[in-house]
Amino acid sequence: ESSGEEGSTVVRKERRRDAPNPMIQKTRRCTKDRPEYAPSSSEDEDPAKEIGVTYKSTRSAKPVGPEDMGATAVYELDTEKEKDAQAIFERSQKIQEELRGKEDDKIYRGINNYQKYVKPKDTSMGNASSGMVRKGPIRAPEHLRATVRWDYQPDICKDYKETGFCGFGDSCKFLHDRSDYKHGWQIERELDEGRYGVN
């Protein structure tokens, strides 16, 4: 507003309202800064209704999931039991028993079921269906998953482990550990108890 030449004017810079940047995230957003693509309503909404994710209780104290909490869950990445190498071998054995002594009927039964005219020796290697002795892949245990890490390079100082002394001292880059060997007091205690050298 101006009142003549000697009057002063006040210029108020309007704050430009930026469109919300999806790359900038905040923990608390005011309801006024609603993005333009969100549906707007004239009446004030309850803030609890604006939350995107809601959960409804089942009103039960029973935990969700299987009864045994997955203790007997089967590892599903392995081949199914009816399709693995052991099952194929067992089916092949059954078919060989049926065909033994019969004339060839010229029916193709798959690559694993060609008729064997010479019976394999009755050894665990020849006839066992268990994967531990038979050639080929063994059937993995269903409920046991063992994770093994082989430490091919245990960074333990060889000098310190064998002699108890290392020339590098504290600047040695290898671990100074003699836990494989018993201390003198442990050997003396075993001698006193009569357990020394007895496995």
Q: How many other CB atoms are there within 10 angstroms of residue 194's CB atom? A: 8
pLDDT digits (tens, 9 = 90+) for 65-77: 888 887 777 777 7
pTM over 0.85: no
Is 24 part of a structural domain of the chain?
no
Average pLDDT on 156-161 reads 92
Is 46 part of a structural domain of the chain?
no
Is 51 part of a structural domain of the chain?
no
Write b or e for each residue in 144-159: b if 16 or more Cβ atoms lie within 10 A of its Cβ, otherwise e: eeeeeeeeeeeeebee
Domain that holds residue 123: 71-143
- Tell me which amino acid residue 65 is: G
Average pLDDT on 177-197 reads 89
Interatomic CA distance for residues 182 and 191, integer angstroms:
13
Could you tell me the two tokens for 72?
């007997």
pLDDT digits (tens, 9 = 90+) for 107-123: 898 888 888 888 777 67
Could you tell me the two tokens for 86?
């052991």
Residue 181's SS3 state is coil
Domain shared by 135 and 77, yes or no: yes
Interatomic CA distance for residues 13 and 104, integer angstroms:
99
DSSP letter for 78, please: S
